[in-house]
Structure 1
Amino acid sequence: MNCLIVDDNKIARTTLKQLASQVSDLEVVGEASGALEASNLLRHRPVDLLLLDIEMEDMTGLELTRLLGERRPVIIFISAKKEYAIEAFELNVADYITKPVQPVRFLQAIDRAREIIASNQEQVNIQQDAFLFIRDSNVVKRLGFDEILYAEAMGDYVKLHTTQKFYAVHCPLKAVEERLPAQQFIRVHRSYVVAVDKIDSVEQGTLIIGRKPVPVADAYRAALNKRLNVL
């Protein structure tokens, strides 16, 4: 587990480094005296954990947390003030420690962060599966994501089209979309989700995929063009 310490007080940073050095699986890979400096560091070297102060001159720790968005590291706030705690926990941080930091309290917070990081990694591993299981008649079949050309909503069913055939599964298109990896698939119509790398061409509101036309709704066209990175 590696971490970045962000605090505008040098003594506070030194204290946190000393505490972190007592945790065998925690490595301090950097420190920053402000939120903007931390943001720049994270662009070049992502970390697992942020030990983050709140009141800083350039930007607060709360503002930095919002700026980093969903892909932010796990965060432990460390502040001299208690009044930010409710707002901090609304941002789904791992913990909130008040200064002066007590060693036992620090270790408790690190334990929470470690559990969250392990849980996140487990979820990533699940998402890295390259297939899903579907029921084909009375047989459960493994269908690779790279086999799917597109998914088409048909009433209470979804047809998963491949180059050879299609499979009909009894569920809404939204449920299928959530199971398909977002880096490979995109919704182009309320009734269609397509594999981006299987698109052959797009013309006049219709794309061709596997020699079959698929409509592109106006509401999804801008997102599709952005995703295709058209020159």
Structure 2
Amino acid sequence: MNRKGPLTCLLVDDNKVARVTLRKILQNINAVTVVGECGNALEAKAFLDENPVDVLFLDVEMPEMSGLELLRLLTNRPHTILTTAKENYAVEAFELNVVDYLVKPFTLTRVITALDKAQELIRFKQSPQTNTVTPKQLFIKENKVIRKVNLDDILWMEAKGDYVQFKLPDRSYMVHGSLKAIEDKFSSDQFIRVHRSYIIAIDKVEYIEDRLVYIKNQPIPVSESYKDALLAKLHLL
């Protein structure tokens, strides 16, 4: 890793052995400084309210308050690396925009990879060109498998109750969450909201007729409140 000064890290885990193990791993990485340890989420919140850090290593399952609940409470979240013994929190991790998701037991190499991701995000945040950087993939949990999806393959996203359906040319994925939360994660240059229930990929639009957008011959409704923004994005002549 290459950064002026070490990354400051806070370790949060109700299991003392897990904290000791992670601290020993981090001691092998020169560009990292552990500035604190907490045994529960409430201690961590109190610490972070007074001591901002670069990276938060956060256990998911803890008594009284889970790691995910803590993240939802934090106003200014550090770059967070979740640590857990289970794999079934990947979707929620994605929704909370965490840096990485480590399943115990993890290795030195895996921790370095996660820290490199955090460092890259910090570098982009400090750069004046941060807003021009757009991720090219996302990861979606399907049963027990986490699959990579290229953003360029997404045709549209549709709200379905407490879930959002990602429609691709050859299949669909269902992700728990709101369309608003999904909308906040994607570049407005590539996707646009056209209806309270739909976000579409701009470059996949084939034609518009009678307030319907057609993608792969599928009609998608366009609300009056979103129409002008859509036409502006399409560079209508």
TM-score normalised by length of structure 1: 0.52
Residue 103 (str. 1) matches residue 108 (str. 2): yes
Partner residue of 2:92? 87
Partner residue of 1:55? 61
The amino acid of 2:77's aligned partner reads: R
CA contact (8 A) 1:34 1:56 kept: yes
Residue 64 (str. 1) matches residue 85 (str. 2): no
- Percent of aligned positions with the same letter in both sequences? 49
Q: Which runs of 5+ in 1 are unaligned?
A: 127-231
Change (3 A) 1:72 1:27: same
Partner residue of 1:4? 10
Q: Distance in 2 between matches of 1:89 and 1:26?
A: 25
Q: Distance in 2 between matches of 1:96 and 1:105?
A: 10
Partner residue of 2:175? none
Partner residue of 1:46? 52
Runs of 4+ in 1 over 3 A off after TM superposition: 123-126
Q: CA deviation at 1:121?
A: 2.1
Q: Distance in 1 between matches of 2:126 and 2:85?
A: 31
* Matching residue within 94, 105, 125 for 1:120: 125
Deviates more, 1:102-111 or 1:47-56: 102-111
Q: CA deviation at 1:119?
A: 1.3
Task: Give RMSD over aligned pairs.
Answer: 1.7
The amino acid of 1:115's aligned partner reads: E
CA contact (8 A) 1:6 1:13 kept: yes
SS state at 1:56 partner: coil
* Matching residue within 18, 21, 24 for 1:15: 21
CA contact (8 A) 1:53 1:77 kept: yes
Q: Within 5 A, what are the aligned runs for 1:1-231? A: 1-69=7-75, 71-123=76-128
SS state at 1:39 partner: helix
Q: Distance in 1 between matches of 2:26 and 2:107?
A: 12
| CA distances 1:95-119 after superposition (whole Å, capped 9, x unpaired) | 0000011121111111101111111
The amino acid of 2:73's aligned partner reads: L
Q: CA deviation at 1:122?
A: 2.1
Q: Distance in 2 between matches of 1:32 and 1:105?
A: 22
SS state at 1:51 partner: strand
CA contact (8 A) 1:3 1:47 kept: yes
Q: Distance in 2 between matches of 1:114 and 1:82?
A: 24
Q: Distance in 2 between matches of 1:22 and 1:108?
A: 14
Q: Distance in 2 between matches of 1:53 and 1:14?
A: 13
TM-score normalised by length of structure 2: 0.51
| CA distances 1:50-71 after superposition (whole Å, capped 9, x unpaired) | 00000000211111111113x2
CA contact (8 A) 1:77 1:97 kept: yes
CA contact (8 A) 2:9 2:56 kept: yes
Partner residue of 2:226? none
SS state at 2:18 partner: helix
CA contact (8 A) 2:124 2:130 kept: no
Change (3 A) 1:66 1:123: farther
| CA distances 1:99-144 after superposition (whole Å, capped 9, x unpaired) | 0111211111111011111112225999xxxxxxxxxxxxxxxxxx
Q: Distance in 2 between matches of 1:85 and 1:125?
A: 25
Which structure has the larger Rg?
A: 1
| CA distances 1:3-60 after superposition (whole Å, capped 9, x unpaired) | 1000000000001111111111110000000000000001111101100000000211
